[in-house]
Amino acid sequence: MSKKIVFSSEMWTELVKGVKTLVKAVEVSYGPNASNVIIQHPQTSVPLATKDGATVATNVELEDPIQNLGVKLLKESATNILEKNGDGTTTTLILAGSLIESIHKAIVYGHFSAELVKGMRQAYQDFLREIETEKVTNLTEDEYLYQVAMMASKQDEELSQLVLNALKEVQYKGVITTAKSDKKVSEIEITNGFEISNGYVSSYFLDIKDHVELTNPYIFITDLPFNNPAVVVNVLNRVAEIGGQLLIIADDFNKQTLSVMTHNNHQGTLRCCAVHAPGLGEDRPLILNDLALYTGGKFFSTVSGISLMKAQPEMLGKAEKVLIYKDKTVIVGGAGNSASIEYRKQHLNHDLQYEQDARVKGFIEHRLSRLEGKILTIKVGGQNDIEIVERKSRLENALASCRNAYSEGVVLGAGISSKNVADRLTRTNNDTTDIGYNIVMQALRKPYEILTKDGKEMPNQNVYDPAKTIKNTLEQAISTAINFALTNVTIIENE
C-alpha cells in the first residue's frame, strides 16, 4: 500500500487535535473526586466503568489517522510512566497535553523549536530543585501513606487500608503482589518468598497477560552462559521425564537455546522459562548462592566444577511457585533447609554489624531482605470479574504511589505544590528560551486548574502526592513533548 506524507502545519494541527481529545477523555478520571468513564468492553456486552486514567487512555482510538498517531504517541508516554513509576499516567497525559498544545502555538508564532526545548530542559532542572522545598514534614509515615493511597485509589477506604496494612506487614520494603479473588471480599495472604531483579528473557514465554507462572518448578541456577542447545535438551528431557516444570537462571541464552525452550512451551512438552542471572561482578555469585540455599539446589559455576551437562533433577532447586514478570522474578516457598538459611542470616547480620562501606552494607541488607522476605498477596474481591479488574487496577496504583511516597516523601497534592513552584519560577522575559521555560510552568499549573475549574471546591487539605511521582511525570511529559516539538513530517498509510 502507498504512503501519504504530511508536512508541518497540517500535521501539527491534526496531531494536536488527537492529543487534546485523549487528554479531555482522561481529565474526568483525575483527582480525588474523579468521575467514572464508561467503556464498551471488547469481549462482552457489559460496559466497564472506571476511574483509572491508564485504562481510559488504552481504549481511545480515533478515526483520523494523524489524530490517532497523536493519541498513540501520548499513550506510549503513559505506558512508559506506568512501567517506571507504577502510577501517574493521568498526570503525565495532562502535563504532556498542555506542553504540546503550547509548543504548537509558539511554533505557529515563529519561535524555533530547538530554543523552546532548551528552555523546557532548564525548567525541569529548576523544578527538581524547587520541589524539594515543598515536601511535607509534619506527618507520620502511616498518616501520609494512607492519604496517598486514598488519592491514588480514588477515595476507596477499603483499598487504602489494605495497602497500608500490607506495607506494615512487610515493613514497607518487602514483596507485595496482587491477584483477583474468587470471593466478594478483599483479603491479604502472606507467603515466604525470594525476589530477584530480572524477568523473563523473551515475551514468547508469556502464558498470562503480564507474567509467567510456574507451579512446583525445578530451578537451574548458574552464572554461566546457556549457549549449548545440547545442555538445554538434556535438562529439559530429564525434568520432563518426571513431569516437572523448569526455570533456568543463567548468565545468558543464545537464540538456539531460547528456541528449544519456547518450542517446548508451545508444544506443551514442558512448561519452562529463562531468566538472566541477577547482579553484577562479585555480587552475582553471592545472590545466586543465596538463591540456591533458599531453593535447596546447587549453584553451578566455574568454582563448583560441576558440568552443566551432568545436571540431574535432584541437583536443582525447588519451589512451590515462581512468578516471572518483565522486570522481576518472585520465587515462593523455596525447598531449602530452614536451619541452613537461618545460619546464613546470622552470618550476614554479624557482617552487617561491622561493615563500614556504605555500598557493601546496602548489599548485605538486600541479601538479608531476600532471605527474610515475605511475599504478601492482596487478593481483590468484587461482585463480578469486571469490577474486580477495575478495583485491582486502582489498588495497584495506590500501592505504587505509596512505594514512591515512602521512597522520597510527599508534597501537597491536587497540583498545589507544582503550582507553588511554577508561581515562583515563571520568567518575565520573552525570548524563545524563556517562552519554552514558561511553557513548562504553565503545564505545572494545569492539574490545579482542572480540579478548581467551573467553581469546583478544592479537595481537603489531606491530599498528598509522592514527590518521586511528581518528578517522574514531568520528566516523561517533557520527553514526549520534545519528540513532538522536533517533528515536522508524518508518514501514514494512504486510504
Q: Give the pLDDT band (50/70/90) at residue 457.
A: low
Task: Summarize pLDDT for 165-201 with one digit per residue, the tens.
Answer: 999 888 787 677 788 888 888 888 876 689 888 999 9
From CA 26, how far away is CA 77, in angstroms rounded? 14
Predicted local distance difference test score (pLDDT) of residue 73: 87
285 has a pLDDT exceeding 80 = yes
**Quick one: average pLDDT of 93-112?**
92
Return the DSSP state at 474. Answer: H
Predicted local distance difference test score (pLDDT) of residue 170: 80
**Quick one: average pLDDT of 410-427?**
93
Task: Summarize pLDDT for 355-397 with one digit per residue, the tens.
Answer: 877 678 778 877 887 887 666 789 999 888 888 888 898 898 8
Whether residue 195 contacts residue 370, with contact meaning beta carbons closer than 8 Å, is answered with yes
Whether residue 160 contacts residue 394, with contact meaning beta carbons closer than 8 Å, is answered with no
At the fourth CATH level, the homologous superfamily of domain 195-336 is GroEL (3.50.7.10)
- pTM of the full predicted structure? 0.68
Share of the chain above pLDDT 90, in %: 43
**Quick one: average pLDDT of 67-71?**
87
Range scoring the smallest mean pLDDT among 257-271, 305-319, 366-380, 432-446: 366-380
Residue that is written with C-alpha cell 530554543 in the block = 115
Whether residue 431 contacts residue 492, with contact meaning beta carbons closer than 8 Å, is answered with no
Predicted local distance difference test score (pLDDT) of residue 199: 92
Predicted local distance difference test score (pLDDT) of residue 47: 76
Pick the more confident residue, 8 or 259: 259
**Quick one: average pLDDT of 313-332?**
91
From CA 334, how far away is CA 317, in angstroms rounded? 8
Measure the CA dihedral 68/72/75/79, to 10°: 160
Predicted local distance difference test score (pLDDT) of residue 283: 92
Residue 145: phi and psi, rounded to 5, are: -65, -40
Task: Summarize pLDDT for 115-149 with one digit per residue, the tens.
Answer: 999 999 999 999 999 999 999 998 888 899 999 99
Check whether domain 3-136+409-493 has CATH 1.10.560.10, yes or no: yes
Measure the CA dihedral 282/285/291/297, to 10°: -170
Pick the more confident residue, 8 or 106: 106
Predicted local distance difference test score (pLDDT) of residue 6: 61
Predicted local distance difference test score (pLDDT) of residue 373: 66
459 has a pLDDT exceeding 60 = no
Task: Summarize pLDDT for 460-487 with one digit per residue, the tens.
Answer: 567 899 999 999 999 999 999 998 888 7
Predicted local distance difference test score (pLDDT) of residue 2: 60
Our separate counts of H helices and E strands in the chain read: 16, 16
**Quick one: average pLDDT of 456-460?**
62
Total residue count of the chain as it appears in this document: 495
Residue that is written with C-alpha cell 515462593 in the block = 332
At the fourth CATH level, the homologous superfamily of domain 141-184+383-407 is TCP-1-like chaperonin intermediate domain (3.30.260.10)
Measure the CA dihedral 407/411/413/418, to 10°: -110
Q: In degrees, to the nearest 5, what angle opens at C-alpha 398 toward C-alphas 146 and 83?
A: 145
Task: Give me the residues paired with residue 237 across strands.
Answer: none
First to last CA, the chain: 9
Measured CA distances, 336 to 192, 219, 330 (Å):
12, 12, 15
Task: Give me the residues paired with residue 493 across strands.
Answer: 3
Share of the chain above pLDDT 70, in %: 92
Helix spans in 177-326 (H): 229-241, 255-267, 283-295
Predicted local distance difference test score (pLDDT) of residue 346: 92
DSSP string, 247-283: EEEES-B-HHHHHHHHHHHHHTS--EEEEEPPS-TTH
Please say whether the dihedral angle defined by the alpha carbons of residues 82, 84, 86 and 91, taken in this order, is positive or negative: negative
From CA 272, how far away is CA 247, in angstroms rounded? 6
Predicted local distance difference test score (pLDDT) of residue 1: 57
175-180 and 374-380 beta bridge pairing: parallel
Predicted local distance difference test score (pLDDT) of residue 495: 62
Identity (one letter) of the amino acid at 234?
N
From CA 99, how far away is CA 120, in angstroms rounded? 9
Q: Give the pLDDT band (50/70/90) at residue 326.
A: confident
Q: Which of 251, 280, 275 is nearest to 327 (CA)?
A: 275
Whether residue 463 contacts residue 40, with contact meaning beta carbons closer than 8 Å, is answered with no
Task: Summarize pLDDT for 185-195 with one digit per residue, the tens.
Answer: 888 887 668 98
**Boundaries of every domain in the chain:** 3-136+409-493, 141-184+383-407, 195-336
